[in-house]
Amino acid sequence: MTSFWTTAESNEVKTARLRTLFFWGLIMHASLISTSIFALCFSSHAGAEALLPVKPSPYLVSAITRNMFRLPKPDQDLVLLSAHRGSWEVYPENSAYALQDAWNSQIETVEVDARITADKEVILSHDYRIERESTGSGLLYNQNYSQIQQADLRDRHGRVFKDSQGRTAKFLTFSAALDLLAQYVADDGHGYVMIVDVKGAVDDQDPTDPIELTQRCLDILAAKKNPQLSKAVVFKLKAKDAVDIGTFLNRTTYDPNVIGGLIIVENPDDKNVKDSNNDPHQDTIYDQWNVAPFPVQFEMNQFYKGDGLQAYFDYVDQKQGFATYHESNYYPEGVANSAGKCCFGHNSDPTSTAPGGIVPDYRGDPEMAIVNRTNLITTDWPDVVGDMLRALGRRNTSELSR
């Protein structure tokens, strides 16, 4: 693929070119909106009712996103937390219960996973096969929503979940998840944020186009006609799925003045990660998103201190915010998981000669997540990581109330 620019161009030239592209992208939005087929995007299924009590948020949505997308400073006293797939230590991941429990625990953001069914319903699911998460089976993208809804969700131990009233949990549609979030977003600006991790195709048979899926989510969100809700939603894509700024803006109606924000997962391949001399300027995708004419947050998941990503955290030309991810070794995603097709065995010994080309991996160590300058930590253990941040004086949530 031809680079959007040459690395010899200055950041000022790159920024000027991107501003021009950004305005052209806004013009293209009108065309995209007029040609969107809402019948494919708008869910006809009933909205979600709150399964747990809705506790008001002490935080302002604008303060959450402002702190999320600022340039991190070494001495900042607030690192945001995001509950990975909700509170799934007790409740099924990505379920209404898990989302509500995280927000009721005053975790300011929750990250959910968006995938699409055969009949174009957007639902929350990390895996593309549904055996681990539920009593169902088979490929999610080959099944209609009505088939998916026959399954009951499991907890992280594989047990079918039932609440105190004997109710089971079902796969949640993206539309229903928005309806839940809307119950926490108040007219006075208080509320919480939902980060939507848009999942791409996992094999040659999977028809998912992550940019098209992003647009479907944007259409569903727009159909809610709730500007405050839109500001409480942040989208997250892998850099390779977002392609480049021009493609993303021209193929979606994403408007940074309307939506809460955009996270780009920009992790170099393993070869670069292992190269401590890696130069971020050699990463042309990262280089252009770094000077995007609107706020972007990079999620950078280091394997170990001093790996190739260290150059990104220490990058003197950094213009965007940083996030990272603490992956628990004790949860199902912490071990090889063919159902998720995203994970590998962890090994925290840098001298390991483990077979299979396993890269030394410290992401299961919460200390790894808090040593770098970062605005946001996505974690399976928001309570544990929160306590560690408070001990370091980096969890001053009073900033979220002003």
Helix-then-strand count for the chain, H and E = 15, 9
Bridge partner list, 323: 299, 376
* β-pairing verdict for 109-116 and 233-238: unpaired
**Strand, coil or helix: 261:** strand
In tens digits, the chain (402 residues) has pLDDT values of: 344 444 445 556 555 555 555 555 555 555 554 445 443 444 445 567 899 999 999 999 999 999 999 988 777 899 999 999 999 888 999 999 999 999 999 999 999 999 999 999 999 999 899 988 999 999 999 999 999 999 999 988 889 999 999 999 999 999 999 999 999 999 999 999 999 999 999 889 999 999 999 999 999 999 999 999 999 999 999 988 998 899 999 999 999 999 999 999 876 665 666 677 778 878 888 888 999 999 999 988 776 667 777 788 777 888 888 888 766 555 444 443 444 444 444 444 455 444 444 455 555 666 766 767 789 999 888 998 899 899 989 999 999 999
CB 174 within 8 A of CB 123: yes
**Strand, coil or helix: 234:** strand
Tally of CB atoms within 10 A around 150: 12
Locus of tokens 């990660």: 273
Residue 342 CA to residue 201 CA, distance in Å, equals 12
Among the listed residues 264, 350, 266, 346, the one whose alpha carbon sits nearest the alpha carbon of residue 306: 350
Locus of tokens 């997250």: 236
**Tokens standing for 329?**
């070794």
**Strand, coil or helix: 23:** helix
Tell me what pLDDT residue 321 has. Answer: 87
**Tokens standing for 302?**
């280091």
